[in-house]
A and B are shown apart, each in its own frame.
Chain A
Amino acid sequence: MSRIIALAAGLVLAAFSANAQEQVTDFHLDNGMQVVVIEDHRAPVVQHMVWYRAGSADEPAGASGVAHFLEHLLFKGTDTLESGEFSATVAANGGRDNAFTSYDYTAYFQRVSADRLELMMRMESDRMVNLRLGEAEILTERDVIIEERNQRTENSPGALMREQLNAAQYLNHRYGVPIIGWRHEMETLSLEDALAFYRTYYAPNNAVLVVAGDVDPQEVLALANTYYGVLPANPDLKPRDRSVEPPQTSPRRMVFEDPRVAQPYVTRSYLAPERNPGDQKTAAALTMLAELLAGSTTSLMNERLQFEKNIAVYTGAFYSGSSLDQTTFNLTIVPAQGVSLEDAEAAMDVVLAEFMETGVNTEHLERIKMQMRASQIYARDSVESLANRYGRALSSGLTVADVQAWPDVLQEINEADVMAAAQLVFDDRQSVTGWLTGVTSEVSQ
């Protein structure tokens, strides 16, 4: 017997009626695997995804990058599939497949004609438990991930600085270690490292199946029971208890110099709370705060620093609450030609101080809410992004109910909520400020 929860959740928004609601059904299999079905019958396509609640922040010390390394290795053989046969079979069926790894999750997906769903489930459930790896292919694939690190990180001064910045932001939590891994540890990753991670975390009771597209929820459930439901749960799966940050009591600053930098900039991150089950209000307020400060042309930092004065060519504020543990709130300013990093940072701080003084522009907050309501409509045009939204949330500690409630929580945020969140997050003692620059003598250019 599977538990069936049909969601008729009240996402209904005054301005848009029930049109804004996506069709979502969710189940749990007996072995603990969660299943989410999102219906979209406009095209005969299905997105089939398995999300493991295991990412780089779950890695053992000394083996950074192993979650991502294992992701690559899942495309090698199993008891019944040759190395490479998985993707070849997807391609032979006119589909495409890929995978991605983050701090809190590792996800695998195929996008295929809806009538090929069963084949995808057969293969994906197979590699959840039957992976077979050889020593030689491990070494070649390790070279591939090192080239991937070269491409994403070593060749990009901005990426190298973000790596250092994150490491300084987190004193005790694994979010301070890059997802792709530190190079010196990647170079020593072994077959046993990968298999140990696989045995610990790859099991149905640590996975979320998301199926989105032209499918019937009951048929998905029947197939899921056939292919995933028969796999044994891992009885030794531990709760995700990670090390916790100590009080952060000192602002950190860094200057990252690299001759490859053409456009210097200042970026700052603050430790920030994440979305939690049944408790998403602060995260919603921070989401609004980022929009108000630098979400669009009309936001405060842009208005003050690009329109009223020619201090910046770009300003940005970023916050994403989908995270298992404490996340960050980030600000960036790219100075205009002739403005120093020092002056740019000072100008940014003046705008922040002004915001804390004068508070939220109500009309602006209303515009943002209007856009967020509309985004519920636009989002329904891409079932793929809806599938990602659910998968990411459910593997980051949230529930289906939290995902469904989120738009309403955002709409309910008022001016005072935003200011309270800003007071909480703009604490210099919990911040890291980085300057990315060419060579020191060019700082003022």
Chain B
Amino acid sequence: MRLFVIVAFAMLAALPVSAEVDIKEVTSPKGIPAWLVEEPSIPFVALEIRFRGGASLDLPSKRGATNLMTGLLEEGAGALDSQGFAKATEALAAQFGYSASDDTISISARFLTENRQEALELLRLSLLEPTFDEESLERVRGQVLAGIRSSEKDPNDIASRHFDALAFGDHPYGSSLEGTIESVAGLSREDIVTAHRNALALDRIYVAAVGDITEPELGALLDDLLGALPATGADLPARAELALSGGTTVVEFDTPQAVALFGHEGMDRDDEDFFAAYLLNTILGGGGFESRLMEEVRVKRGLTYGVYSYLVPKDLAALYLGSVSSANDRIAEAVEVIQSEWARTASEGVSAEELSKAKALLTGAYPLRFDGNGSIAQIMVGMQMQDLGVDYIATRNDNVNAVTLEDVNRVARELLAPDALQFVIVGKPEGL
């Protein structure tokens, strides 16, 4: 493949405008809100549920509890053991996915119209009545520990772990949400039950549904599925202090190609300059082959297969990150070129032509993202979490186009901080 496709969550800002998408705001009889797009042409529904908080709700010394809890939701519920739950799900050909990230627990469900009720009862059991039995706990714990051991020898994972620790220290953002060998080994069933009680609650829920379902059907579904969740969960953690000071940290690891992560403070999603920052990043390192970093590091010099930058507005901190990998004897040059592009963009800004190309890319791409029930449901649940209204869609491209060259270049001066740019390099880099 010519280019890895990087799925940065900042891409949510590239939400398309599409008159075709008719979003209904639904509130269930018990008061659970959701967004709905009715699309009866394929007999299934894509349902996306989010709980804000995610792995950052881990209690002190219980790192990894939320992640392990999330992995256990499908491992036995109600009267069904793990295998029984899996067999019942397979027999209905329903698809349930459960995952934890720093800020969110995500549940993705796909189920057929013909057996919707049975599928939803299984999903309800997994969210409301997970058994967390000791046998499943030990089995899934073993899988998580195997993953952690692998991460310890993976250059990309080593780089993110070092970078996060430097950036956030003791805040949950400063460590891997999987936890450590020690913390995961120490988790008890009670810790898992607590994590479940803390994370899955109605005061932090977001729902989107797309597919073969009507408004009243969805309202009833929401109450049946989620109505019995507790009203409130644990308090969200405090905002994270960013402790980066710039410079280069090398983590020695014997591998032929060095992996570098770099970054500094970013911009919150609700900042009025976010569109300007998003356009700026598209030009600097977010726009694939058209970006300055790709042009200078890959196309002109052949120093890497890919170099990217991305805005990462998390709930409790905002980062501006980038990544590159080059052979150990070439990474120093790649780093130098990146630093110099970062500085040049901060001081000189971007050109009117570059801005107009970036606008064309972002606004032209708008309909491409609304291309299926699953993708529309994911976009809609993400918009709700970002506190964007349904009307955001209609105005989004106008807002992108309203950004001026002066805006972007002011944001370039304010946001890009070449001296604060922290590099973490894993490998045996020469000349650094």
A381: chain B residues at CB < 8 Å are 42, 44, 46, 372-374
Q: Are A371 and B90 in contact (CB-based, < 8 A)?
A: yes
Q: Flag A117-155 by CB within 8 Å of B: 1 or 0 each.
A: 000000000000000000000011111111110110011
Q: Is the CB of B288 within 8 A of A314?
A: no
Contact B91 A367 (CB under 8 A): yes
Chain B residue nearest to A368 (CB atoms) is B90
| Residues of B contacting A146 in the complex (Cβ-Cβ under 8 angstroms) | 327
Partner of B5 from the list A43, A98, A112, A383 (CB cut-off 8 Å) is: A98
Check B86–A310 contact: CB distance below 8 A: no
Cβ–Cβ contact B360 & A88, under 8 A = no
Decide if B142 touches A88 in the complex (CB within 8 Å): no
* Segment of A59-67, A295-303, A351-359, A427-435 engaged in the interface with chain B: A295-303
Question: Which residues of the other chain, B, contact A314 by a CB distance below 8 angstroms?
Answer: 143, 146
A43 and B20 contacting across the interface, CB-CB below 8 Å: yes
CA distance A91 to B359 in the complex (A): 10
- Which residues of A in the span 237-277 have a Cβ within 8 Å of any Cβ on B? 259-263
Cβ–Cβ < 8 Å partners of B374 in chain A: 381-382
Residues of chain B within 8 A of A94, CB atoms compared: 360-366, 368
Known: A44-B20, A94-B368, A98-B1. A337 touches B145 (CB 8 A): yes
Contacting pair B256 A42 (CB below 8 A): no
B298 touches A91 (CB 8 A): no
Interchain CB contact under 8 A, B90 and A43: no
- Cα distance, A112 to B371, chains bound together (Å): 11
Cα separation A92 to B370 with both chains bound (whole Å): 19
**Is the Cβ of A334 less than 8 Å from the Cβ of B325?**
no
Chain B contacts of A155 at CB under 8 A? 155, 255-257, 259, 325
- Is there an interface contact between B150 and A262, defined as CB atoms closer than 8 Å? yes
A95 interface residue per 8 A CB criterion: yes
Q: Is A370 an interface residue (CB 8 A)?
A: yes
Contact B257 A140 (CB under 8 A): no
Beta-carbon contact of A370 and B367 below 8 Å:
no
Q: Which one, B43, B253, B289, contacts A88 given CB within 8 A?
A: B289
| Cα distance, A303 to B84, chains bound together (Å) | 12
Q: Are A91 and B43 in contact (CB under 8 A)?
A: no
Distance of A94 Cα from B358 Cα, bound (Å): 9
Q: Are B143 and A98 in contact (CB-based, < 8 A)? A: no
Q: How far is the CA of A75 from the CA of B294 in the complex (A)?
A: 14
Q: Is the CB of B257 within 8 A of A151?
A: yes
Which stretch of A3-11, A164-172, A218-226, A372-380 is in the interface? A372-380
Query: Does B18 count as interface, using CB distance less than 8 angstroms?
Result: yes
CB-contact partner of B288 in A87, A142, A143, under 8 A: A87
Mark contacts of B377-401 with chain A using CB atoms, 8 A cut-off: 1 yes-contact digit, 0 otherwise.
0000000000000000000000000
Q: Which of B39, B112, B146, B155 has the most CB of A within 10 A?
A: B146
Q: Is the CB of B368 within 8 A of A45?
A: yes
Q: Does A111 contact B (CB under 8 A)?
A: yes
Contact between B304 and A98, CB atoms less than 8 A apart = no
Task: Tell whether, in the assembled complex, residue A95 and residue B5 are in contact, meaning their CB atoms are under 8 Å apart.
Answer: no
Residue pair A307, B289 in contact (C-beta under 8 Å) = no
Q: Indicate if the CB atoms of A43 and B357 lie closer than 8 Å.
A: no
Known: A144-B302, A298-B87. A377 touches B112 (CB 8 A): yes
B239 interfacial by beta-carbon distance below 8 Å: no
| A371 CA / B93 CA spacing, docked (Å) | 5
Within 8 A of B (CB), among A17-53: 19, 42-45
Residue pair A95, B139 in contact (C-beta under 8 Å): no
Kindly state whether residue A336 has any CB partner on chain B within 8 Å: yes
CB-based nearest B residue for A379: B42
- Using a CB-CB cutoff of 8 Å, which residues 288-308 of chain B contact chain A? 288-290, 298-306
Contacts of A75 in B (CB 8 A): 2, 289
Separation in Å of the A338 CB from the closest CB of chain B? Answer: 10
* Contact indicator A377/B365 (Cβ below 8 Å): no
Interface size on B, residues (CB 8 A): 75
Q: How far is the CB of A150 from chain B (nearest CB, A)?
A: 4
Cβ of A374 and Cβ of B302 under 8 Å apart?
no
Q: Is B110 an interface residue (CB 8 A)?
A: yes
Task: Answer yes or no: A162 CB below 8 A from chain B CBs.
Answer: no
Chain A neighbourhood of B367, CB < 8 A: 43-45, 113
Asked whether B256 lies within 8 Å of A154 as measured between CB atoms, the reply is: yes
Assess the B82–A307 pair: CB atoms within 8 A. Answer: yes
Check: A234 CB closer than 8 A to any chain B CB.
Answer: no
CB distance from B327 to the nearest CB of A (A): 6
Report chain B residues within 8 Å CB of A307: 82-83, 139
Give the nearest-CB partner of A101 in chain B. B1
B 58-92 binary contact with A (CB < 8 Å = 1; else 0): 00000000000000000000000011001100111
CA distance A383 to B305 in the complex (A): 28
B152 within 8 A of A: yes
A173 at the binding interface (Cβ < 8 Å): no
In contact, B303 and A147 (Cβ under 8 angstroms): yes
A95 touches B364 (CB 8 A): yes
- Roughly how many angstroms separate A112 CA and B300 CA in the complex, as a whole number? 27
Chain B residue nearest to A372 in the complex (CB): B93
Asked whether any CB of chain B lies closer than 8 Å to the CB of A58, the reply is no
Whether a CB of chain A sits under 8 angstroms from the CB of B287 is yes
Partner of A297, one of B2, B82, B151, B362: B82
Contact of A382 among B82, B259, B372 (CB under 8 A): B372
**A220 CB to nearest chain B CB (Å):** 18
Per the 8 Å Cβ criterion, residues 283-324 of A in contact with B are 296-298, 303, 306-307, 310, 313-314
CB-CB nearest in chain A for B143: A313
Q: Is there contact, CB below 8 Å, between B146 and A72? A: no
Asked whether A2 is an interface residue with its Cβ less than 8 Å from the other chain, the reply is: no
- Chain A min CB distance to B384 (Å): 21
* Contact A92:B95 (CB < 8 A) given known A297-B83, A378-B44, A381-B372: no
A80 close to B (CB within 8 Å):
no
Residue of A whose beta carbon sits closest to that of B256: A154
Q: Which residues of B contact A143 (CB under 8 A)?
A: 301-303
Give 21 A-B contacts (CB < 8 Å), ordered by A residue.
A19-B42, A42-B41, A43-B367, A45-B371, A91-B288, A91-B289, A91-B357, A92-B361, A95-B368, A142-B302, A143-B301, A144-B304, A151-B257, A259-B254, A262-B154, A296-B90, A303-B83, A307-B83, A337-B142, A377-B42, A381-B372
Interface residues of A, Cβ cutoff 8 Å to B: 15-16, 19, 42-45, 71-72, 75, 84, 87-88, 91-96, 98-101, 111-113, 139-148, 150-151, 154-155, 259-263, 296-298, 303, 306-307, 310, 313-314, 334, 336-337, 367-368, 370-371, 373-375, 377-378, 380-384
* Shortest beta-carbon contacts, A-B, top 10: A94-B364, A143-B302, A374-B93, A150-B257, A140-B302, A262-B153, A297-B86, A148-B305, A381-B372, A100-B1
